[in-house]
Each structure stands twice: as C-alpha cells, then as structure tokens.
Amino acid sequence: MARASLGVAGGDPPPPSYEETIGIVPPTAAAPAAATRAQPAPDLSSITIDGTLIYPTLPPATALYELSHDLDAGFNKVDISRLVPRTTDVTTTSMNPRDKLIYEFKQVIFSTTVEITGRRRSAVSGTLYLKPRIGLLKQGWEVWHTPASSTSSQRVGGGGHPDALLFRLKGSWNARRPEPLRWEDASGSLVALETVWQRGEDNSRPRLQILSPLPDGMMDILVTAWCARIWIGQQLRLAEERERGVSNFRRRMAYSSGVRRDLYGGSGVVRRF
C-alpha cells in the first residue's frame, strides 16, 4: 500500500499558506536591501564647505556635515554634526537628527592650539589637539590625541605624554602661488590634499580631496581638523586686524597729543610763533 506524500521531493506540493490564499505576499528579506541600494552612498573623495554645510563636489551633493557657525564669523566655539549615517552603523536610520553632533572645537587660551572634544559615544574618547608647527621655510599643523585617562601634566606639550599623532598637515601658505596642502597620517602616507581658501576671490571655497579611504571615525576626525584649521586661521586673522586697528588708533591719539603740545605747550595757552 503506497504511503501518502508529505511534500517531500517527488511528491505533491504543500498546500498554499493563508497569506498566499488571500493574495497577500509577505515582504522578503531582500526588500530593505533593495531600497537601500536605490539610494547610492555619497562620494567622499572630494568635499567642500559652503557656509555651514559640507558636501561632496560630485553629485549627489547631499550634505555630509553641518557646522554651527560660519568658520570666518568670529565665533569662539564651533560644533560639527554628521548628517549622514555611518557606513558601518546599521542603527543610525532611526536616529534623532539632533543627536548627530560629533565634535566641538575652540581655541586654547593664550595659545594658537585648537582643542577638539567629542560630543558622542562614537567620537574618539579623550581630547584632540590641533597644534601649529613652525619651520624655517614652511609651516604646518599636527593633530594629536590625548587619551581620557591622561593627567593634565601628560597633555600635549608636556613631558612624557602618551599622546598619539593622528595627522600632519604640510605645505606652503604662499598667497601669490597657492599650492595644495598635504594631509598625511602618522606614518607619513598621503591621505588628502587641501585646496586653500583664497579670501576675497569669487567662487573660492575650501576643498579637501580624499586620496586614501578612511574608517568613519578617522574621517570624522580629519574633516573636523580640516574645519578647525580653517577656523583658527580666520581667528588669528581677525585678531591681527583688531590689533592693527588698536595700533592705528594709538598712533592717531599720539599724533593728536603731539599737535596739542605743539600748539598749547605745557600751560594750555596757545603759543605765538
């Protein structure tokens, strides 16, 4: 006596499910992936700054980062937020946009060093420092990381500090013959080229060309350091302009005082020549 088939290979097919019977096809596991593929990831090989937004120079020009203030507006502190999900983070699609603040940077008092502090758990722990390096013919900057466990005496510039060098910026700031600045990693490998912003020129914007792919965390640090370098340059320029204005005012006051002394002498009476 033949046994009834239970739906194994070679037997009758299994009965249709309830969803198939009423005409409802459940979503497949590949549907979310297909929707994700419909939106290509932004191209990070070349980025630029326009006001407070940082976005690719190639389409789709979706804003990648946002600054709290213009870099040349003279604010004492600037925040930077990431506007696109991390490529390695699958949970960011439901994040609150207000929770995307990653770093803030400000000038260390009585110094040209910039202090960069993480504002999210995804940011590097501890503190980052953007420090100037002055050479005989060229100048540059370095990005150092001080772990959170370091004491104040071990911070950047102190003896025996355990800080790690992350990036180094090299190049020549020649206004007449501007050339791209070189961003290198700690081993000296070229990471990115920076096109210097020419103040006063139309259609001149800062540009960073990424030559070596970086993990999301290091990319955030590089972009933040790039913005901080432009910002501190503007801060120093504004300070020089204020100092120049004060010096001019003092010279005018000294000149006026000298004229009054010549006219009135020490007694306040007009001299007769």
Per-residue burial over 223-258, b if 16 or more Cβ lie within 10 Å, else e, is bbbbbbbbbbbbbeeeeeeeeeeeeeeeeeeeeeee
Task: Give how many domains the chain has, as a whole number.
Answer: 1
Q: Please give the pLDDT value at position 121.
A: 85
Whether the CB-CB separation of 48 and 223 falls below 8 Å is answered with no
Q: Please give the pLDDT value at position 171.
A: 83
Whether the CB-CB separation of 58 and 46 falls below 8 Å is answered with yes
Q: Please give the pLDDT value at position 49.
A: 95
HSE on the CB side for 197, CA within 13 Å?
A: 19
* C-alpha span between 146 and 207 (Å, rounded): 28
Sign of CA dihedral 205, 145, 158, 152: positive
Q: What is the pTM of this model?
A: 0.69
**Residue 61, domain CATH:** 3.20.90
Is 267 domain-assigned? no
87-97 pLDDT per residue, tens: 655 444 445 54
Q: Please give the pLDDT value at position 193.
A: 96
Is 131 domain-assigned? yes
Is 259 domain-assigned? no
Q: Please give the pLDDT value at position 39.
A: 57
Is 257 domain-assigned? no
Sign of CA dihedral 14, 19, 20, 26: negative
Query: Which two structure tokens, joined as six digits, stand for 63?
Result: 């804003």
Q: Please give the pLDDT value at position 65.
A: 96
- Which of these, 103, 106, 97, 105, lies nearest to 121 by C-alpha position? 103
* C-alpha span between 163 and 124 (Å, rounded): 13
Q: Please give the pLDDT value at position 24.
A: 41
Query: Which two structure tokens, joined as six digits, stand for 29?
Result: 């596991």
- Which of these, 175, 204, 179, lies nearest to 194 by C-alpha position? 179
Q: Please give the pLDDT value at position 58.
A: 87
**Domain ranges, residue 100:** 41-248
Q: Please give the pLDDT value at position 83.
A: 93
Q: Please give the pLDDT value at position 61.
A: 80
Task: State the Cα torsion 91-51-79-219 to the nearest 10°.
Answer: 50
Pick out the chain residues at pLDDT < 50.
2-8, 18-36, 38, 90-94, 97, 151-160
